[in-house]
Structure 1
Amino acid sequence: MTDTVGQAMGLAADRGTIERVLRHNPETIRVMEGEGTNPTDLLAYLPLTAKGLDALTNGRLDRASPDLTHLCYAGERPAALYLWCVHAPRNFVSVIGAMTAHFSEIAPEGVPLFASAANAHAARIFDRLGFKKGSESFPRIASDILVVLPNPSDDDIIATEPKTSTTRVGRTIEDVMRVFSIRAATYMSEQSCPYDEEFDGNDFCAAHIIGEIDGEPAGCIRIRFFADFVKFERLAVRPEFRNSSMAFRLVRAAIEYARRKGFHTVYGHARADLISFWQRFGFKAIADRPAFAFSGVPYVEMAGEIPRTNRALHIGDPPLQLIRPEGLWDVPGPLDGGRLRRAAA
């Protein structure tokens, strides 16, 4: 990054914050390339999660030092975009054109685009580009923020509360039935996968992460455990929820779950057309291994190392912690309460 660009970014945030955001999502700062752009033309933006959009529109987003839970990971579809810094001293319009092309790739269906004008010249350009005062659509938003919505009809939609998206370990027979319904709606329905191939006898010796949106089963992933690695399988998201970040949330939840279990290596079979999706989590195709197919779909073997954590469970941890409900090891379980009752008696 040149001194000029570095100075420009310094107006948006300090160096430590910029490095922290880049580690979270390397795509947030881009040197723009396109007709009329220059080597120092730069775009920095914050791809906001639903939580981040809610924080922004209610005046709680710290734009100088954003909470990383408010920002999407690379490849995750954002709920909104905030222009953090645009450095184009010679041809702002050319950079806007290149920016528009980039945003159409990461959010093809369109999302609200927010900005704040650094000076009167920028304010005039934003006005010509169709930006309006954010307070016209979001009464509690910061007074300096401008917004352009995907289309006028989205105004009322965007102002509503964002949907609640959650992931958790399946622990009950009802949870497993939810997982089965999601996979039946995806693999069996969309890929015409035979029942005996989809429900292969491994479901009751595996862990399942289930994802829900507003309480509705939306996606799932299966995890099986081997001596020194875990295998991720059966990642599925129902068609009606595929414009959400659920697939990314499920994989991240599965990685964190495996880390707590003490595993450091993940292995899986990636559909050939989804290799790039798994690469975003650091997984790589295994060299010198042939492609293969099952259920009429080509697959590639992939593996990756996941970061170690000092929170992994070990022999020597409190005994009652190790018998708490799966995935809830940090929350007192039923037997913790039982011990207190016996002590009281």
Structure 2
Amino acid sequence: MSLLVTRTDDMDACRALRRAVFIEEQNVPEDLEWDGHDAEAVHMLARLDGQAVGTLRLFLTPPTAKIGRVCVLQPLRGTGVGRALMQAALGLLREQPGIEEAKLGAQMQVLDFYRGLGFDAHGPIYDDAGIPHRDMTLRL
């Protein structure tokens, strides 16, 4: 099996993954998922043997980068795809001039996943699209 994570312009693949995970699986309303900000973001795509299996988007606003819409197809969670996707994104961020910190809003059930990557949780739990979240940051 071959896993490849790259920066991508393949918005059809990214949107299909986000539809499957956020809209269909997690019941996020379409108007919240399609927020109109995709054109401003850098997108990453994980492909396993050529098949799109995970994605995320990045907003680069020095000194901080925001990571969002992180998703991996359900059957592949816990296999290392998400970790590889995040490590590739963090590697890209570390190469960006002026980016000193990464931040994200993590669903509560995946806080430990992000802690394992070095992120620290802070602030209160809040609702985003009906799902409890907490902010997390990582100094790069």
Higher strand share: 2
Offset from partner CA, 1:116-171 (integer Å, 9 cap, x none): xxxxxxxxxxxxxxxxxxxxxxxxxxxxxxxxxxxxxxxxxxxxxxx111000013
Q: Secondary structure at the match of 1:281?
A: coil
In structure 2, the partner of 1:108 is none
Contact 2:62 2:100 in 1 (8 A): no
Q: Distance in 1 between matches of 2:80 and 2:73?
A: 12
Unaligned runs of 5+ in 1: 1-162, 307-345
- Determine if the alignment matches structure 1 residue 165 to structure 2 residue 29: no
SS in 2 for 1:291: strand
1:172-209 Cα distance to aligned partner (Å, 9 max, x none): xxx11100000101001111111111111111100011
Matched residue pairs, number? 139
- Partner of residue 35, structure 2: 200
* Amino acid of the structure 1 residue aligned with 2:21: T
How far the C-alpha of 1:244 sits from its partner, in A, is 2.3
Give the aligned partner of residue 126 of structure 2. Answer: 292
> Matched residues in 2 for 1:285 and 1:240: separation?
27
Per-residue CA shift, 1:256-286, capped at 9, x if unaligned? Answer: 0111112220011011111111111111012
| Greater RCO structure (CA 8 Å; 6+ sep) | 2
Name the structure 1 match of 2:86.
251
Tell me if 1:304 matches 2:138.
Answer: yes
C-alpha distance in 2, partners of 1:280/1:290?
A: 20
Instruction: Work out the CA distance in 2 between the residues paired with 1:292 and 1:226.
Output: 23
Q: Contact conserved, 2:58 with 2:68, CA < 8 A, in 1?
A: yes
- Go from structure 1 to structure 2 and tell me whether the alpha carbon gap of 1:190 and 1:276 turns closer, same or farther (over 3 Å shift): same
Following the alignment from structure 2 to structure 1, what is the Cα–Cα distance between the partners of residues 75 and 112? 22
Amino acid at match of 2:138: G
Q: d(CA) in 2 for partners of 1:227 and 1:264? A: 7
Query: Which amino acid is 1:224 matched to?
Result: F
Instruction: State the shift of 1:241 in Å.
Output: 2.2
- The reply on whether 1:267 has 2:116 as its aligned counterpart is no
Q: SS in structure 2 opposite 1:290?
A: strand
CA deviations 1:215-267 (Å, max 9, x no partner) are 00000011111231001101101123225211000000000011111222001
Partner of 1:187: helix, strand, or coil?
A: helix
Which structure 1 residue ranges, 4+ long, deviate > 4 Å from structure 2?
Answer: none
TM-score, structure 1 length as denominator? 0.39
Task: Say yes or no: does 1:225 pair with 2:36.
Answer: no
Percent identity (aligned): 24
Question: Structure 2 stretches of 5 or more lacking a match?
Answer: none
Kindly provide the amino acid, as one letter, of the partner of residue 127 in structure 2: A
Between the aligned partners of 1:213 and 1:236, the Cα distance in structure 2 is: 14
Counterpart in the other structure of 1:234: 69
Larger Cα Rg: Structure 1 or Structure 2?
A: 1
245, 258, 283: which one pairs with 2:119?
283
CA distance in 1, matches of 2:59, 2:71: 16
